[in-house]
Amino acid sequence: MTTIRSFMTDDHRRCDDLFAEAEQAVAKKDFELAQAAFGHFRSAMLAHFAGEENTLFPTFEARTGMSMGPTQVMRMEHVQLRSLMDDGMAALQAGNADDYLGLADTLVIMMQQHNMKEENILYPMCDQHLSDELPAVLERLESELSEE
Amino acid sequence: MQALLAFENAPPFTAPLRFFLTAPLFGVLAGLLVAFEGADLFASRWSPGALAATHLITVGFMLQIMLGALIQILPVVAGANLKRPLLVARLVHVGLSTGALLLAVGFLFELPAFLGGAAALLGVTVLFFLAATAAALAGVPSTSPTIRGIKLALVGLFCVVGLGIAMALALAGAWSLSLPELADLHAGWGLGGWAAVLLAALAYVVVPMFQLTPAYPARSSWWFPVAMLLMLAVWSVALLFEQSVPARLAQFGAALLGIAFAMQTMRLQAKRRRARPDATYRYWQFGLIASVLALVMLSVVAWWPEAGELPGWSLLFGILLVAGGFLPFMTGMLYKIVPFLSWMHLQNYGQARIPAPAMNKILAEPGMWRQMLAYFLALALLLAAVFFPARLACPAGLVFAVANGWLGWNLLGAIKRYRSHFADITLKLATS
């Protein structure tokens, strides 16, 4: 059965794949390809954030009344991730591999520990609290994630 | 649940940091001890110097980093928030560091009172830590192999410390025990039941995280910690009833489990999608190879116990597993964790208005690579010193001390840059 946890986790893995493509391109010093790949990665991430911030988090907050809890922390981490991605894009546009790789290292860990908290803690909480409206929430998320 | 994932519950940076910065000092002490004692230390694994150096490393370095890291990561990986993390960190850090020093002095100068004092202090400290983590973990369901692995590793920690206390009391003359067999079991619980299970539980998270490898297969990551503890339980019961065959089979089982975990990690790392090998990755590769060699030696002894009596065998095994395996894993992780935490705390402090410097600006790659080469040289010398102690013990100890001092220097440099950025952000926040 598809759950919020499995669906959103799969999307995290898809973003990881896109990130890896960008890094491979940087390693080959192909900055044009790297910019394109990083651009795909960033749009996928932004679509994922949008799905969470516009659909998943508000639904969870409305149901549980927890508006200053985990979802708030996740929103703050989204802000940090957005800014890291902007810096990464700028480094690629400037052709600065060293800056990019340093940012990429930071971005990877930030992104992975963020994903881990969502996958292990927040998504299971969502599945638990939103069990009766699961199909509707999943459908909305699905359409939002495809709008990159 | 309300406070779950809130930053306010993330421990302050100084909570884990004190452990990470103290550990290299114990590495330096151990190296100096090896250099100072020279060939005497290499006479046998039971020599006062060898026992003292071993515990400077296992308690002063390894346990230090493991407890510090747990204080940091329990909220992140398990959503388990320690109550008053800074207070827990302070007490555990002081108890552990003092206990490790007392223990080393007790072994080196053969002072039963110091051994007894060390056992009491370390016992109380670890029990306090276990109580604090148990309270945080109570009610946290084991929804991931990592959470379950951490819980099981804590059982291993309880057993290794319990056995250590029993032996210290026996050495202090309180009661008589068959010490060599018990010491092997103590090492088994410490390195297998505690350190290896905790390492695996964390590897399930950090190997895919740092290297973008595929995830560990769910089934083996679920079973490894249980199977390892089961082997140690069999070994313990066999020892209690003085049955040497099941005890050896359990040792063999534990060795095979360790080899399987290491090989699986190598296979995953071969599929990693990060473009460049960094110092952490090299440290891990090195640690995996050294661990497999050590565990092959352990498997041989399980079938052919006389091998253990060969000159230098047990020293070689211990150096390969601890200095060759565990220390590289931990150093490799410190090189990611310290710059990342620096970045994260700066980022939070700057309230996303003032950008934090990227990780490689806090701890630069070249410094890590050079330290790593120094460490590998130290390890090669230590292994060679088993065969040529008169000539090589002293240089091996000195290079080991230098490599650990260098690790401390690198970490301190990162913290210095962290502090200067922190001051910078304070200024910018005040003027913006």
Whether A92 and chain B come into contact, CB under 8 Å, resolves to: no
User: What φ, ψ does residue A40 adopt, rounded to 5°?
Assistant: -60, -45
pLDDT at B2: 33
Which of the four pLDDT bands, split at 50, 70 and 90, describes residue B173?
Answer: confident
Tally Cβ neighbours within 10 Å of residue B361.
Answer: 18
pLDDT at A148: 58
* Nearest C-alpha neighbor of B371 from the set B15, B28, B13: B28
Give the integer Cα–Cα distance in Å for B286 and B293.
Answer: 11
Which of the four pLDDT bands, split at 50, 70 and 90, describes residue B215?
Answer: confident
Using a CB-CB cut-off of 8 Å, the residues of chain B touching A17 are: 273
pLDDT at B177: 67
Give contacts of B 195-254 with A, CB under 8 A. Answer: 205, 208-210, 212
Give the integer Cα–Cα distance in Å for B49 and B323.
Answer: 16
Tokens of B197: 């299970």
Full domain range(s) for residue A39: 4-145
Number of domains in chain B: 1
Residue B197 within any structural domain of the chain: yes
Full domain range(s) for residue B27: 9-414
What tens digit of pLDDT does each residue of B333-376 get?
A: 999 999 989 988 998 888 767 888 888 889 999 999 999 999 99
Give the integer Cα–Cα distance in Å for A137 and A4.
Answer: 8
Residue B426 within any structural domain of the chain: no
Asked whether the beta carbons of residue A101 and residue B210 sit closer than 8 angstroms, the reply is: no
Tokens of B231: 């082997």
- Total residues belonging to chain A: 148
Mean pLDDT over residues A115-120, rounded? 86
Higher-scoring residue by pLDDT: B335, B211? B335
Nearest chain B Cα distance for residue A112, angstroms: 6
pLDDT at B7: 45
Mean pLDDT over residues A121-137, rounded? 90
Tokens of B147: 């959470």
Nearest chain B Cα distance for residue A71, angstroms: 9
User: What φ, ψ does residue A123 adopt, rounded to 5°?
Assistant: -60, -45
Under a CB-based contact definition with an 8 Å cutoff, are residues B167 and B183 in contact?
yes
pLDDT of B3 over the 70 cut: no
Mean pLDDT across chain A: 90
Lowest mean pLDDT among B151-155, B171-175, B198-202: B171-175
Crossing angle of helices B64-73/B327-349, nearest 10°?
40
Whether A90 and chain B come into contact, CB under 8 Å, resolves to: no
DSSP state of B309: G
pLDDT above 90 coverage of chain B, percent: 77
Number of domains in chain A: 1
* Nearest C-alpha neighbor of B36 from the set B50, B20, B22, B54: B50
SS3 category, B93: helix
Under a CB-based contact definition with an 8 Å cutoff, are residues B320 and B298 in contact?
no
Query: Of B5, B77, B340, which has the smallest distance from its Cβ to A109's Cβ?
Result: B340
Give the integer Cα–Cα distance in Å for B161 and B146.
Answer: 22
Q: What is the DSSP string of B102-124?
A: HHHHHHHTT-HHHHHHHHHHHHH
Residue B421 within any structural domain of the chain: no
CATH number of the domain to which B108 belongs: 1.20.210.10
Rounded to the nearest angstrom, the gap between the alpha carbon of residue B148 and the centroid of all alpha carbons in its chain is 19
Rounded to the nearest angstrom, the gap between the alpha carbon of residue B174 and the centroid of all alpha carbons in its chain is 30
pLDDT of B193 over the 70 cut: yes
DSSP state of A69: S
Give the integer Cα–Cα distance in Å for B118 and B124.
Answer: 10
Using a CB-CB cut-off of 8 Å, the residues of chain A touching B7 are: 73, 76
Whether A70 and chain B come into contact, CB under 8 Å, resolves to: yes
Residue B310 within any structural domain of the chain: yes
Residue B113 within any structural domain of the chain: yes
Mean pLDDT over residues B95-120, rounded? 95
Using a CB-CB cut-off of 8 Å, the residues of chain A touching B352 are: 76, 79-80, 83
CATH number of the domain to which A17 belongs: 1.20.120.520
What tens digit of pLDDT does each residue of A22-43 get?
A: 988 888 888 899 999 999 999 9
Which of the four pLDDT bands, split at 50, 70 and 90, describes residue B139?
Answer: confident
Which of the four pLDDT bands, split at 50, 70 and 90, describes residue B176?
Answer: low
SS3 category, A2: coil
Tokens of B291: 């661990």
B420 Cβ contact list (under 8 Å, min separation 6): none
Residue B427 within any structural domain of the chain: no
Using a CB-CB cut-off of 8 Å, the residues of chain A touching B358 are: 87, 99, 102-103, 105-106
SS3 category, A94: coil
Asked whether the beta carbons of residue A76 and residue B7 sit closer than 8 angstroms, the reply is: yes
Nearest chain B Cα distance for residue A10, angstroms: 13
pLDDT at B248: 94
* Nearest C-alpha neighbor of B216 from the set B168, B174, B271: B271
Q: What is the DSSP string of B1-49?
A: -TTTT-GGGSPPTHHHHHHHHHHHHHHHHHHHHHHHHGGGGGG-TTSHH
pLDDT of B432 over the 80 cut: no
Which uninterrupted H or E stretch holds B141?
none
